Structure 1
Amino acid sequence: MRRQLTVTDGLGSAGGGAVGNTERELNREHEVLRRTLSERHARVVRLDQEDLEFDAEYEQLVAEAARLIDFENTLPARLAEPKRERSERFVRWSWRAEAAVSALLIAAVFLLENTAWWLVVLVPHLLATLGGCTIKVTATRHATQAKIAAVLHALCLLVVLVSLGVLSAWFIIAILASWLVIGVASDGTEAAKGRTL
């Protein structure tokens, strides 16, 4: 007999209301599937293989078992969905905010009549942050993507300080290195497979 699976198996205690609600709903759905399968199994074992309804009942038993297996296979991703959605909001607004800051810095170059050489740094920074706005936040990588977005904030602060002359232009090397780190870390976020706005 299969051990009863609960949605908290291997996960520890639930954190947060949305996660707790999701776990309760999934637990109820799992119980319904198990009960339905158990009832179907009880009907099949009472029948003789020669009975006319045996084949139909057996097919239904197999279908119920397949539904339960499919449910259990998708359970980890469904449990992670509330956390993924939180990460997605943070990631999406982080990239958008940094793109807006980049656009403001480009405008500041013209308004403050700074040297146009800063555009060599700021335009690629703007294009990169705009590109980041469309990265798909996946169930498997959402935590990593949120960390990348947090690092992006630090990078953007560095870009602001350098472009406004608070820090030396030598810090452009740190900006380039940071973009290299973000680019490598972002590789595998399925940007090419599924971008959304």
Structure 2
Amino acid sequence: MNEGTGDIARYFNERADKWDESGCSGESRVQDAVLSLVDLKPGDTVLDLGCGTGVMIPCYLSAKAGRIVAVDVSEKMIERAREKFGTEPSVELRACDALSLDEAERFDAVIIYNAYPHFPNKPALVEKVYRLLKPKGRFAVAHGIGRDAINRHHEVVAAGVSCGLRAASEESALWEGRFEIESLVDTPGFYAFSGVRR
């Protein structure tokens, strides 16, 4: 595991069993909007980084994604996701650090939903997403609540597990060297930025 991810895995392992009932799973009306940011089409391959218990997986299935790879650093979160989606033939669930993924795999879309503050090494994340996407593939970073609410929530999260979220215009600047940024949303009810691989 990369630096800092052990603490993150432990934090979420401790909470996985009650995650879906705690209201932290992040289900919201914005999930269809997240799919539209990456222009997901039937048959597309999608990589979900920081998938938790799989809150976005029903959306990918409804969109008829051809292959869904859902990754989380927390083994327990992946166990919960397997209980729900382990029999779906198009879904592959992996407990691992996103930065360790094999770059020989390529995807049409990479989505990070309600998880971005838990990736401590943002420059390495940008590079990894770039290398995992097909040419002209799209990524989206999104949250089902606004930045201020996210940051207030994460003030009580254990040190080393989360980092503050900046304005979408500032946060997306990290991605501009590798991606053409296509959308920025920074409202009280929805936070997102997305782009296409250069």
So what's the TM-score if we normalise by structure 1? 0.19
**Higher share in helix:** 1
TM-score by length of 2: 0.19
Larger Rg: 1
Identify, as 1 or 2, the structure richer in strand: 2
Structure number with the bigger relative contact order (C-alpha 8 A, sep ≥ 6) is 2
